[in-house]
Structure formats: C-alpha cells, structure tokens
C-alpha cells in the first residue's frame, strides 16, 4: 500500500511528528529503547522533506547521522502554540490532581480508604481537585505558600 501526500499534508505530518516527538522525549535525558520505533518512523518520514521542498525545515546532520528539525522549524509559532497550550494545561491539571491526592490521603486513614471502591475514591479526589481548579482559575498561584 502506498500513501500519497500533498505538500500541505506532508507539512502537517511534520508538525504532528514534531509535537509527538516533543511529548515523548521532552523529559528524557538518554535514549529510551521504548521510543526507538517512533524515532525510526520519524526518521523515515523526515527523510522525504527534501522531496517536498522542506529542506528549510528538516536537515540531515552528518555528525548525528539523522534528520533533525532546523531552528526555523523549531521556532515555528504554529507547533509551539500547541506545545505551550499542552504544557500549561498539563501543569494545572497535574498540580490540582497531586494536591487533591495529598489532601485525600491526609484526611482519610488507610482502613477507610480500603473500604472504598475505586469510583468512590475517584469522586472524593475529584472534589478536592475541583476546588483547586476553581482556586487557580480565580487566583493563579497568588495564594500558594510553603509552610515551614
């Protein structure tokens, strides 16, 4: 089976790849063997960039022996807006969820929690999380303080 892309579609595919690669590897320091199949597919797709006239976005680096996005591509506001939005939303959701879990565990002993089913635990932690979401929407981090 062959798939034919128009130039505009290939560009969108490059955007998808860049965003996906960022999500998969943004917190990785070393190569992760689990991500090798993704990296291989990314390299295969990026190898066609010149054929589509996108050598300004993807270049082959002889030192690393791989295709890499150029600075022009990395600074593209389109993909960076998606990434920035993802980071911001993930931050707030993760902060609320972690604080909710902390408060839930602080207010319920292990014996009580053991008697709860998963849906009850979910509902109770969601209540904590919802309160944090409301607070952060209203005040951001202005009321966050560290007790020593």
Domain-located, residue 148: no
Domain boundary among 25, 57, 74: 74
C-alpha closest to that of 143 among 135, 29, 76, 89: 135
Structure tokens at 126: 């969601």
Residue 32: pLDDT band (50, 70, 90) is confident
Question: Do residues 55 and 83 share a domain?
Answer: no
pLDDT tens digits, residue range 57-85? 999 999 999 999 999 999 999 999 999 99
- Mean pLDDT confidence for 91-108: 94
Domain that holds residue 25: 7-74
On the 0-12 / 13-18 / 19+ scale of CB atoms within 10 A, 64 is exposed
Question: Do residues 47 and 102 share a domain?
Answer: no
Residue 30 in this model has a pLDDT that exceeds 90: no
pLDDT, the chain, mean:
93
Domain boundary among 74, 94, 123: 74
Domain boundary among 74, 98, 116: 74
Domain-located, residue 20: yes
1 three-state secondary structure: coil
pLDDT of residue 81: 95
| Cβ count near 33 (within 10 Å) | 7
Task: Give CA–CA dist 44/102, Å, rounded.
Answer: 44
Number of structural domains the chain divides into = 2
62 three-state secondary structure: coil
Residue 52 in this model has a pLDDT that exceeds 90: yes
Domain-located, residue 58: yes
Domain-located, residue 1: no
Question: Do residues 43 and 84 share a domain?
Answer: no
58: enclosing H helix or E strand: strand 58-61
CB 98 within 8 A of CB 132: no
Residue 113: pLDDT band (50, 70, 90) is very high
């Amino acid at each position: 089976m062959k798939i034919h892309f128009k130039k505009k579609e290939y560009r969108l595919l490059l955007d998808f790849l860049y965003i996906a690669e960022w999500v998969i590897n943004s917190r990785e320091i070393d190569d992760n063997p689990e991500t090798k199949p993704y990296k291989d597919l990314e390299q295969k797709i990026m190898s066609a960039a010149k054929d589509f006239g996108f050598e300004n976005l993807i270049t082959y680096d002889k030192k690393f022996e791989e295709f890499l996005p150029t600075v022009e591509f990395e600074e593209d506001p389109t993909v960076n807006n998606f990434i920035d939005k993802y980071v911001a939303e993930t931050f707030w959701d993760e902060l609320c969820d972690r604080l909710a879990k902390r408060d839930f565990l602080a207010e319920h002993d292990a014996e009580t929690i053991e008697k709860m089913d998963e849906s009850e635990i979910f509902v109770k932690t969601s209540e904590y999380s919802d309160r944090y979401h409301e607070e952060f929407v209203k005040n951001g981090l202005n009321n966050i303080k560290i007790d020593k």
